[in-house]
Amino acid sequence: MAETKKLFIKTYGCQMNVYDSERMAEALGGNGYEQVGTAAEADMILLNTCHIREKAAEKIYSELGRMRELKDAKPDLKIGVAGCVAQAEGAEIMRRQPMVDLVVGPQSYHRLPQMEAKAGHGEKVLDTDFPEEDKFELLKARPKSKRGPTAFLTVQEGCDKFCAFCVVPYTRGAEVSRPVDRIISEARDLVERGVRELTLLGQNVNAYHGLGLDGHDWPLARLIWELAEIDDLKRIRFTTSHPNDMSDDLIDAHGRCEKLMPYLHLPVQSGSDRILKRMNRSHTRDSYLRVIDRIRTARPDILLSGDFIVGFPEETDADFRDTLRLIEEVGYGQAYSFKYSTRPGTPAAERGQIDDTIATERLVEIQALITRQQRAIQDAMIGKEVGVLFEKAGRMPGQMVGKSDHLHAVHVDSDTLKPGDLRRVRIIGSNTNSLSGVVL
């Protein structure tokens, strides 16, 4: 019997990379690998990279440099780089770090078993193609092991929006939607293994249009309604969305589909029409606010989340104040904000950049406003009843932690709850980034 080999995957970035890492581990399981918790234990290390954050490629090169000692101590150790930095950097990774054995882009990781086999024979392997075949169709069936109560499920990849700051169209490719029957099959499999909540993933997930069960293209709303027919699937979420693709049927689903949770991440990036145009966002401040109004009319208790970039090239103080005013008007329960950082090859990289000190000051101000809003919305939850899907034990003995309908972390004292339990909870306290409650 062949000896089991050990695989360590370090995942950077978004939920889609978390999903991809799971599928990579499953693909390599057929080659005799099992996952371990540390790089020091591994026979193969995979860095599943993200190209969104500042100096992403340099951070990966630094991480690889720190692994040289492991490679020296174990010459047979295989090191691979996957994901969006792999797609963007390609052969440059191997040139700068010759100890890397394989580089694979996010659309080619279904080929990992063959690549690993070649690397095992001493070859250097590079695959950053955008293959015509469907990687999801060619991946091995998911193993039947027990799963936690929540899971990610990729339904759409790529983006056709070409925002001026973003590398996703270049690293993930054009928008592609998976067929409905394959999504339903994977969802049923996950539910059979214990999953009670699915988060549907896509770079632009609400642009989903996949081949439906009737042979016609189905939008995301129809896919959600079909998933809602799975009895033991209790909750559905989706991320990340574009304001221009919040269609009437999707907004209606938020109002009528009981399994679709009252939480929506809808990035706007800026509150200035001038900057939105420079970003090539293809929406305006007013069109975004109209979408928000329609969503809140359909689902008044919905919690909204957003993304904001400060210090975008040519952003003035007036532009920044427009963003602050939009945040105040919307009232976000959660939001993510970043300083703009250049991405080579994107249009914005060629423009005049904002002084870093100014960008930092703006980031501090916007984050303080978002934090105040988040805390106010959490405080307003005290006394209310919410559904909570419990996921794991808390840090204190006798404590369980789960996520509310609105994606708040909720702690309760209980010796009887177990992961996967969905219970009604009354909120009794608001803490930093979490709530406390009692089970009803």
Task: Residue 85: give its domain's CATH number.
Answer: 3.40.50.12160
pTM for the whole thing? 0.86
Closest to 194 (Cα-Cα) out of 229, 228, 148, 259? 148
Residue 437 has a pLDDT of: 97
In a domain, 137, yes or no: no
- Residue in the structure block whose two tokens are 């996967």: 420
Which residues contact residue 21 at a Cβ distance below 8 angstroms, ignoring those fewer than 6 apart? 9, 11, 46, 48
In a domain, 166, yes or no: yes
In a domain, 47, yes or no: yes
Of the residues 330, 349, 379, the one at which a domain ends = 379
Same structural domain for residues 283 and 428?
no
Same structural domain for residues 257 and 325?
yes
Same structural domain for residues 175 and 224?
yes
In a domain, 338, yes or no: yes
Of the residues 127, 162, 179, the one at which a domain ends = 127
For residues 201 and 15, the answer to whether their CB atoms sit within 8 Å is yes
Same structural domain for residues 420 and 373?
no
Identify the helix (H) or strand (E) that includes residue 426. Answer: strand 422-431
Beta strands in 249-398 (DSSP E): 263-265, 303-310, 334-339, 385-393
In a domain, 40, yes or no: yes
Please provide residue 11's backbone torsions phi and psi, each rounded to the nearest 5 degrees. -110, 130
In a domain, 142, yes or no: no
Please provide residue 203's backbone torsions phi and psi, each rounded to the nearest 5 degrees. -60, -30
Residue 350 has a pLDDT of: 85
Same structural domain for residues 301 and 410?
no
Of the residues 344, 364, 379, the one at which a domain ends = 379
* Residue set of the binding site for [4Fe-4S] cluster: 14, 50, 84, 159, 163, 166
Same structural domain for residues 374 and 258?
yes
Residue 319 has a pLDDT of: 98
Tokens of 398: 């006798």
* Residue set of the binding site: 14, 50, 84, 159, 163, 166
Tell me how far apart the alpha carbons of residues 221 and 183 are, in angstroms, rounded to a whole number: 14
Pairing of strands 385-393, 422-431: antiparallel
Same structural domain for residues 314 and 188?
yes
Same structural domain for residues 290 and 410?
no
Tokens of 194: 């214990």
In a domain, 39, yes or no: yes
Cβ neighbour number for residue 41 with a 10 Å cutoff: 12
Identify the sign of the CA torsion 213, 214, 220, 221: negative
Same structural domain for residues 283 and 419?
no
Same structural domain for residues 90 and 206?
no
For residues 77 and 54, the answer to whether their CB atoms sit within 8 Å is no
Same structural domain for residues 220 and 291?
yes
Residue 1 has a pLDDT of: 45
In a domain, 265, yes or no: yes
Same structural domain for residues 431 and 367?
no
401: CATH: 2.40.50
Domain count for the chain, please give it: 3
Q: Which residue numbers in the chain have pLDDT < 50?
A: 1
Closest to 246 (Cα-Cα) out of 302, 199, 205, 198? 205
- Single-letter amino acid code for the residue at 94: M
Domain that holds residue 404: 385-439
